[in-house]
Amino acid sequence: MSEYINNREMRQNAIKEIIKKLHEGKSVEEVKQLFEEAFQGVSASEISAAEAALIADGLPVEEVQKLCDVHASVFKGSIEEIHQPDDPTLIPGHPLNVLVRENKKITHIIENGIRPYLVLTKENVKEEFSKLREGVNQLKDLSVHYGKKENLLFPYMEKYGITAPPKVMWGVDDEIRDQVKETVELLDQNGKINESLIQKIEKLLDKITEMIFKEENIMVPMLLEQLTQEEWKTIADESGEIGFMIDHVPQWNPAAADKEKDKMEIKEAGEAGLVKLPSGEFKLEELTSMLNTLPFDITFVNKDDVVKYFSEGKERAFPRTKAIIGRNVSNCHPPASVHIVEKIVEDFKTGRKDQEDFWIKMAGKYILIRYYAVRSHEGEYLGVLEVTQDIKPIQEITGEKRLISE
């Protein structure tokens, strides 16, 4: 039995089989028992390999996603904690320290701002309901926490071949976002608590709590196994672009990463020159500043479906971080909508279409999202240009304003 357990490949196959049993209808308790009988411990990377194997064998990401909440219950208590001698989660300003601090805030909101008010009582009903609604509203900030994970951490996981967990976790993140939005709307519509709403909120809180466990006990160990100090520094520097759920996030400046960054800046400065185009030329600073001054965001994906560039204007429709550079465009979108992006790209490549438009209302803005096929003079497909702009101010324009107007 010990030979079987110590064989890495067979252990991965066993994990895969256990997850399949869950999919086939075995109860969580049955699977737990099988797991405890067969294993004394399992690493986070082996869980990742098992999920990747399931997806590679044809099980849709959505199916693995449905099992995601069960995964945490099954694997909890049996995952080997992987920590470096100097635990980054304890270093102020380190991205993992921020992640853990934000998770503590999320837990505080759940345990102190929501759960105490999930009761049916005739006394102080209005006051308790008001506090409950306030607590659930605070969960909207989860989008900031998940946004950093999806736009900064997932690209590095994919870079190191860890592909299944990001897809599954992103899908659950979106489920949580939708459930938070739905719960807020139900609270506003009903104006009071009832048993059905209590059960819905309890399920949401359990899902959020399980995600905290997955982040800290499955995702974090994977990242610690792979990322370099310089990569962590890049993540820290770009986190502000998306934002934080907590106050007072100090700047993290590891000496090794700073020295490497200085070398890169010196190299870039030495290579800076003129960018010559058919209709003119720019200094590198001029071109960069001009593109960042455009009243809309642009992102370019090359013919190999790899993100190569995005503008960095002041008003951004969606968060963009340098971690997406070199990332496959399919991995930059939630699992629920990635098939739409892939269809657009395929239509552009085959020549069926040259443009596709979408528009959505979001946070008081009216965002127009336009995709264009980029082709050479000879018609060769070179990639996709995405242009996003808040068109609400344009829609509100009336009358005329001429150049001579004061």
Which of the following CATH numbers is that of domain 280-395: 1.20.120.80, 3.30.499.10, 3.30.450.20, 1.10.3720.10?
3.30.450.20
Instruction: Report pLDDT digits (tens) over 94-149.
Output: 999 999 999 999 999 999 999 998 876 555 567 788 889 999 999 999 999 999 99
Kindly report the length of the chain: 406
Query: Is the predicted pLDDT of residue 85 greater than 50, yes or no?
Result: no
Q: How confident is the model at residue 1, as a pLDDT? A: 37
What pTM was computed for the model? 0.64
Under 8 Å between Cβ of 84 and 60: no
Band of pLDDT at residue 70, cut at 50, 70 and 90: low
Which of the following CATH numbers is that of domain 88-242: 3.40.50.20, 2.40.50.140, 3.30.300.30, 1.20.120.520?
1.20.120.520
In sequence order, what are the beta bridge partners of 283? 274
Band of pLDDT at residue 274, cut at 50, 70 and 90: confident
How much is the mean pLDDT over the chain? 81
Instruction: Report pLDDT digits (tens) over 211-236.
Output: 999 999 889 988 998 898 889 999 99
Q: Among candidates 386, 397, 331, which has minimal Cα distance to 358?
A: 386
- Domain limits, the chain: 2-75, 88-242, 280-395
- The domains spanning 88-242 and 280-395 adopt the same CATH topology: no
Under 8 Å between Cβ of 146 and 177: yes
Instruction: Report pLDDT digits (tens) over 330-368.
Output: 888 888 888 898 999 999 999 999 999 999 998 888 999
